[in-house]
Amino acid sequence: MSVTRKLLAVFRVDQEINGLQSRLTGAERFLAEQTKQLAALGAERDSLETRIRQLTATAQNAEGESARINEHIEAHREKMNSANTNKEYKALLTEVNTLKETRAKHDEEAIEALEQIEALKAQLEAAKAAEGEREVMRSNAEKQRQERSDEIADKLAALKAKREELAKDVPADALGTYEELLENRGDEAMAPLEIADRKRHEYVCGSSMMSVPVEIAVSLMQGKLTISPNDGCILYLTEEVEAELSGELAKK
């Protein structure tokens, strides 16, 4: 068996392995996306809770300041009731009015903070609900990923063992070339030679679909490891094309 045929056998098994792993990869991507979105929702929830705590503290401080100022106002009013002179009364009244303005600012700050808290609490409830729904999706995604992993485990192990045995029979340099192409090109690491025009002996690379010289066909028929001059993939012959080429090249 030629080195190309040996590589093709490895390639076919690699395609099966990739096909199985793609099912698991898809499930893993979906799980990763759900985990990412769940983390984002958790961060949003934490942010809302932090903001609510901060605004609650702001409201409490403002209410406390308002209460403290109100005590001063009441104390000043008592003094106004016992003021001895009109001048003293007016001075106390001025202070009371100033304190009222300050108290109003604190009251407004407290009200504004409380209104924001109410709005944020509504957002927090929505965020918690979304987080709960996303957690269910993530849990289902994790279950699905595990099911996919369990489904392919035995077959994947068998294919990897088969691949290892086949690879042992391939020359190290050829296997190295193939594995480098497989890493870079995936399923396009190898491609069939196709006959474009049988009478004119015209051939194309099955990967790039560009023409290749007749020498490529001759090289493949001789069992040599043959690289496409167009895109660098390893070319091989299907049984049908090989049978046709045997007759064609024999006539040349």
Tens of pLDDT, residue by residue over 109-152, are 999 999 999 999 999 999 999 999 999 999 999 999 999 899 89
Same-domain status, 106 and 196: no
* Per-residue pLDDT at 200 exceeds 90: no
Distances from the Cα of 133 to the Cα of 28, 46, 127, 130, angstroms = 19, 17, 10, 5
Residue 116 lies in a domain: yes
How many independent structural domains does the chain possess? 2
| pLDDT of res. 251 | 54
Same-domain status, 163 and 196: no
* Cβ atoms of residues 39 and 222 within 8 Å: no
d(CA 152, CA 23): 9
pLDDT in tens, 10-34: 999 999 999 888 888 889 999 999 9
Same-domain status, 216 and 140: no
Residue 229 lies in a domain: yes
Same-domain status, 149 and 193: no
What pTM value is reported for the model? 0.64
The domain that holds 133 is classified in CATH as 1.10.287.1490
Same-domain status, 112 and 219: no
- The beta strand positions in 13-143, using DSSP E, are none
d(CA 211, CA 219): 15
The pLDDT-based confidence of 201 (bands split at 50, 70, 90) is confident
Q: Answer with the one of 112, 133, 168 that is the final residue of a domain.
A: 168
Residue 173 lies in a domain: no
Same-domain status, 33 and 68: yes
Residue 96 lies in a domain: yes
Tokens of 54: 């901060």
Same-domain status, 138 and 216: no
Same-domain status, 136 and 226: no
Q: Which domain holds residue 193?
A: 185-251
Same-domain status, 141 and 24: yes
Residue 175 lies in a domain: no
| pLDDT of res. 30 | 94
The pLDDT-based confidence of 190 (bands split at 50, 70, 90) is very high
Same-domain status, 112 and 139: yes
**H or E stretch at 197:** strand 190-197
Interior angle at CA 42, CA 36 and CA 44, nearest 5: 105
* Per-residue pLDDT at 247 exceeds 80: no
Phi, psi dihedral angles at 205 (to 5 degrees) = -75, 130
Tokens of 42: 């958790």
Same-domain status, 219 and 136: no
As a whole-number percent, the residues of the chain with pLDDT over 90 amount to: 82
Residue 178 lies in a domain: no
pLDDT in tens, 24-73: 888 999 999 999 999 999 999 999 999 999 999 999 999 999 999 999 99
The pLDDT-based confidence of 188 (bands split at 50, 70, 90) is very high
